[in-house]
Structure 1
Amino acid sequence: MSFFNKALASVGIGAAKVDTKLAKSSFVCGEEIKGIVEITGGSIEQKIDEIYLTLLTNYIKESNDTKVHKQAVLEKKKIVDSFVIGVNEKKEIPFTLTLPYETPVSMGNTKVWLQTGLDIKNAVDPSDKDVVHVQPSPLVSTIMSAAEQLGFRLRKVECEAAPYRWQTHYPFIQEFEFVPTSGPFRGKLDEIEMIFSNNTGNSVELVLQVDRKVRGLGSFLSEALEMDETFVNMRVTTQDLPGFKEQLESTIRRYC
């Protein structure tokens, strides 16, 4: 009977189970994720070699004119060494995991989730997945708010594979696309896009793409060659925030 139970557990039947419970569902970039990993023993005693937490997100990569959905690991952490879980025994292991400042925010089709895995030798490793709702850091939130105060509306947010020149810690970038619906840039610009990188919490690298509204006979050619687009690199710190709306407006005006 014991051998039979062991054989079943090796394929996941009657084996140990894992359930991660987060302290809350929504977190700000840079904040600590806190929670408890609950392990429930199965029909036989099993040795758990390790428990690991993996923070993941999704992004899109274009290959031969086809969009491929990919996953990226944002953070991985082992939270406990090996131990034995008895029959029907329950263990609770508290954990903390810092949400990186460059974690993509939960907007558009972007999803972030925490996957908990138990490493069990010669058996199917049980796992659990929990969605984490990510809010932008105060610094990024204030920058986006400045754009909205200038009459821009956030139209699209998407994670895409990063060009080589923009690759930092991760293989993707998150783009925030704004369109002018009121204010001084309505009718003058098609859109602006924002990309944030090297975010430390106190400073962030902002790549601003200004897409001018081209008029005249040469407009079709200009847009086809992307001559109507300008990229501006800005290093924004928390000290810049009080006057950042005016700084952003001045920067955009230079490229209208």
Structure 2
Amino acid sequence: MVFKRLLGSIGVGGPAVDTVLAPGTVLPGGSLTGEVHLKGGNADFDIEHISLELVARAEAETDDGEHEGTVAFERYVVAGGFRLAEGEQRSIPFSVTLPWETPITELYGQALGIVLGVRTELGVAGAKDKGDLDPLTVGPLPVQEAILEAFGQLGFGFKSADLEYGHIGGTGQQLPFYQEIEITPSPQYAHAVNEIEVTFLATPGGMEVVLEADKRGGLFSGGHDALTRFTVTHDSVAHPDWNTEVDGWVRRLIEHRSSHGTHASYGHSDHHHGDGHGHRSGPGMGTVVAAGAAGLAVGVVGGMVAAEVVDEVGDFFEGEEDEGEEG
């Protein structure tokens, strides 16, 4: 294992920390488990707290353009209130629950270019020091996968995915950012839209599905965006015909000429208004993944992720970690 020696505010000779996440993919709303390994320094230290922080790389639109930065979106205190003796090694297991809106980082085993991490913080003698930063892999909930699979079966293709800082008005969004999964239209709808952006806002009871279409000019009174919102339950994953359901969503989205209107799904009537944030984005930092004609299910060609995705993800974790390794 690789320990990160804490040198900054604690000083040379301080304890070292290495957080090891359980292998495999976790799901939104699911349990993230692992162990925090500590190695004592050159003296006894009182460990006031050990915290885990979930962080994400997100984009923000401002007056002077689009910027990217790190956003912390959840924090857990997993231990504290003990003395770590000189040179002592100790392992602390943990199990925490991810927020239901945690973004998806992979689909069908292929990375989408979304960067999430778990950052460890050690509180020692009134000081706080960052330890290691570990990548977090999150897969889709069953109902999310069913919806994305239906898009693929209908001939839509994966284009990119990113995280947008801000809030979608009229929704129950909890996190300070939302995920956009951008898909190219099937041939049937290519005349009407340039792309469709899918956002999932999951809760313990179900999920809001927000669709945005970037319309082509000339179909209506010029090109503009349109948004609709639908509500599903987690049990609806057993829906007998998701292809027909999702196709109906797309039809209603395209027919939706303004932000006013009623859109119902599974007996829920939802009305969506934009909040001026501009719920649109182009491909962000290294998020464009090569897409195939067969749709989302096999949209990442040959399982290969675009090189810039790998480079950016690696740069993020290397840049965030403290200098100095010991192990």
TM over 0.5: yes
Q: Structure 2: how far apart are the matches of 1:151 and 1:69?
A: 32
8 A Cα contact 1:137 1:201, kept in partner: no
Other structure's SS at 1:247 match? helix
For 1:105-144, list aligned pairs within 5 A: 105-106=104-105, 108-123=112-127, 125-144=129-148
Opposite residue 249 of structure 1, the aligned amino acid is D
Q: Structure 1: how far apart are the matches of 2:168 and 2:189?
A: 31
Partner of residue 61, structure 2: 62
Q: Normalising by structure 1, what TM-score?
A: 0.84
C-alpha change, 1:163 and 1:10, in structure 2 (3 Å) is closer
Give CA-to-partner distance per residue, 1:112-145, whole Å, 9 cap, x none: 1111111012556251211111111111111111
Could you say which structure has the larger radius of gyration? Answer: 1
C-alpha change, 1:28 and 1:164, in structure 2 (3 Å) is closer
8 A Cα contact 2:73 2:176, kept in partner: no
Identity rate of aligned residues, in percent?
28
Other structure's SS at 1:34 match? strand
C-alpha change, 1:109 and 1:149, in structure 2 (3 Å) is same
Partner of residue 4, structure 1: none
Other structure's SS at 1:145 match? helix
Give CA-to-partner distance per residue, 1:220-247, whole Å, 9 cap, x none: x712xx1xx3211111123263333202
8 A Cα contact 2:216 2:222, kept in partner: no
The unaligned stretches of length 5 or more in structure 2 are 1-6, 106-110, 256-327
Deviation of the 1:9 alpha carbon? 8.9
Deviation of the 1:162 alpha carbon? 2.1
Deviation of the 1:89 alpha carbon? 0.4
For 1:88-99, list aligned pairs within 5 A: 88-99=87-98
Alignment of 1:40 onto 2:39:
yes
8 A Cα contact 1:205 1:235, kept in partner: yes
RMSD: 2.4
Partner of residue 208, structure 2: 205
Partner of residue 83, structure 1: 82
Alignment of 1:230 onto 2:226:
yes
Give CA-to-partner distance per residue, 1:81-107, whole Å, 9 cap, x none: 311111110111100011222101115
| Structure with greater strand percent | 1
8 A Cα contact 1:193 1:208, kept in partner: yes
C-alpha change, 1:66 and 1:25, in structure 2 (3 Å) is farther
Q: Normalising by structure 2, what TM-score?
A: 0.67
8 A Cα contact 1:151 1:185, kept in partner: no
Opposite residue 185 of structure 2, the aligned amino acid is P
8 A Cα contact 1:26 1:134, kept in partner: yes
8 A Cα contact 1:72 1:170, kept in partner: no
Q: Structure 1: how far apart are the matches of 2:90 and 2:180?
A: 41
Other structure's SS at 1:125 match? strand
Opposite residue 143 of structure 1, the aligned amino acid is I
C-alpha change, 1:129 and 1:25, in structure 2 (3 Å) is farther
C-alpha change, 1:111 and 1:163, in structure 2 (3 Å) is same
Opposite residue 103 of structure 2, the aligned amino acid is P
Partner of residue 248, structure 2: 250
Q: Structure 2: how far apart are the matches of 1:124 and 1:12?
A: 11
C-alpha change, 1:151 and 1:39, in structure 2 (3 Å) is same
Q: Structure 2: how far apart are the matches of 1:66 and 1:188?
A: 28
Alignment of 1:192 onto 2:196:
yes
Give CA-to-partner distance per residue, 1:37-88, whole Å, 9 cap, x none: 1110011111111111111112111222322223332321111131111111
Deviation of the 1:25 alpha carbon? 4.6
Alignment of 1:239 onto 2:236:
yes
Opposite residue 236 of structure 1, the aligned amino acid is V
The unaligned stretches of length 5 or more in structure 1 are 1-7
